[in-house]
């Protein structure tokens, strides 16, 4: 029977430390709203879901492979999943006859998850003893690293 223990040690050990990645919703950056993922040219059918972090000197695109509540628009018109396009692993692929024409903006709105892994296979713990007490107080810290796709 699986354990219902939701403690930090269980979470880290359950993923075998840094060996396995898992999806995480970034509490500060987890939604795309009408994000442009490409412009139609009449032949390109597949578009990677991504966000542009616009920096004057070095713009950066962050690709996403895990999305929920996806809404795809072409030139502002909402398209239907399974009819106009399919999505798999963060790539929107338009079906035959539905490929965006030249100059049409392809935009998405969705919730995104990122793949992360723990930075270590163990949890460093410090156990200082408080003043006037023999009871130790435990503290632990850990880091998560994004796994690029």
pLDDT class of 93 with cuts at 50, 70, 90: very high
Q: How many CA atoms lie within 13 A of 65 on its CB side?
A: 10
- DSSP state, 28? T
Report d(CA 111, CA 38) in Å as an integer.
Answer: 18
Q: pLDDT tens digits, residue range 2-55? A: 445 555 556 666 666 677 788 889 889 999 999 999 999 999 999 999 999 988
Q: Which residues contact 121 (CB under 8 A, 6 or more apart)?
A: 12, 16, 17, 18, 19
The overall pTM is greater than 0.85: no
Tokens coding 27: 């509490």
Q: pLDDT tens digits, residue range 104-143? A: 999 999 999 999 887 877 666 655 556 666 665 555 667 8
| Cα distance from N-terminal residue to C-terminal residue, the chain | 34
Report d(CA 69, CA 111) in Å as an integer.
Answer: 6
- Which H or E run contains 80? none
Tokens coding 131: 């003043």
- DSSP state, 18? G
Instruction: Answer for the pair 111, 31: CB distance below 8 angstroms, yes or no.
Output: yes
Report d(CA 120, CA 26) in Å as an integer.
Answer: 20
Lowest mean per-residue pLDDT among 10-14, 55-59, 97-101 = 10-14
């Amino acid at each position: 029977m699986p354990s219902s223990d939701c403690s930090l040690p269980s979470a880290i050990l359950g993923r075998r430390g840094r060996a396995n990645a898992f999806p995480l919703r970034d509490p500060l950056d987890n939604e795309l709203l009408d994000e442009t993922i490409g412009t139609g040219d009449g032949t390109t059918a597949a578009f990677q879901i991504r966000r542009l972090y616009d920096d004057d000197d070095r713009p950066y695109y962050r690709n996403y492979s895990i999305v929920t509540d996806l809404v795809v628009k072409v030139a502002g018109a909402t398209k239907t999943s399974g009819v106009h396009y399919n999505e798999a692993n963060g790539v929107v692929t338009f079906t035959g006859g539905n490929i965006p024409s030249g100059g049409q903006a392809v935009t998405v709105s969705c919730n995104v998850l990122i793949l992360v892994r723990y930075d270590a296979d163990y949890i460093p713990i410090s156990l200082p003893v408080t003043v006037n007490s023999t009871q130790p107080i435990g503290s632990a810290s850990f880091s998560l690293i994004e796994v690029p796709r």
